[in-house]
Amino acid sequence: MSAEQSTSPDDLLTVGEVAERTGAPASALRFYEALGLITAERSPGRQRRYRRHMLRRISLVLAAKRLGIPLTDVAAILTTLPAGRTPSQHDWHHVSQLWKGELEARRRYLGNLERELTGCIGCGCLSMRSCGVRNPGDQLARHGQGPVRLEDDIEPDPRTAQVARRE
């Protein structure tokens, strides 16, 4: 079935057609279905058929995967979409509001990573020149595991803030 032959969001697509259009293999489609990210119908021969509008959900799932957003988080958002019809623009607007906070947090994290990549990220290694000032004695360990200076919910150390202003 070519794109020219079928343009309705309610068209039923085979697994192969969906896989070809989205780049997601059949095994991934079954997995997404099991997680409730997408739904499928059955042909008279009991084969899976996907409504064309599922391509949008799958594309968002793939985009979220690229950004490292857990599929369980994506599922929580996509389950707010109506199951039995093509989601309206209003439905997608609601979803976009739910995504905003998640995406904003990722943007801040990436910004912090970009800014701090050559400085102290608070990971406990104490190997950078700035670690002695920004994370003396690995004091940042009390904020949690990993590179805690990349999170933005940590109160900045006043000494750290001074150094950051000078740098």
Report the interface residues with ligand FES, using CB under 6 A. Answer: 120-128, 131, 135
Q: Which is nearer to ligand FES, 70 or 136 (CB)?
A: 136
Q: How far is the CB of 153 from ligand FES (least distance, A)?
A: 18
Q: State the alpha helices, DSSP H only, in the chain.
A: 15-22, 26-34, 54-66, 71-78, 89-116, 131-134, 158-166
For residue 149, which amino acid is it? R
Q: How far is the CB of 148 from ligand FES (least distance, A)?
A: 9
Q: Which two tokens stand for residue 150?
A: 């990349």
> Would you say 58 and 75 are in contact if contact means Cβ atoms under 8 Å apart?
no
Q: How far is the CB of 166 from ligand FES (least distance, A)?
A: 17
> Would you say 154 and 116 are in contact if contact means Cβ atoms under 8 Å apart?
no
Q: Which is nearer to ligand FES, 87 or 147 (CB)?
A: 147
Q: Which is nearer to ligand FES, 5 or 118 (CB)?
A: 118
Q: How far is the CB of 165 from ligand FES (least distance, A)?
A: 18
Q: Which is nearer to ligand FES, 102 or 151 (CB)?
A: 151
| H or E element at residue 51 | strand 48-51
Q: How far is the CB of 152 from ligand FES (least distance, A)?
A: 17
* DSSP assigned state of 87: P
CA angle 88, 91, 101 (to 5 degrees): 145
> Would you say 152 and 108 are in contact if contact means Cβ atoms under 8 Å apart?
yes
Q: Which is nearer to ligand FES, 78 or 148 (CB)?
A: 148
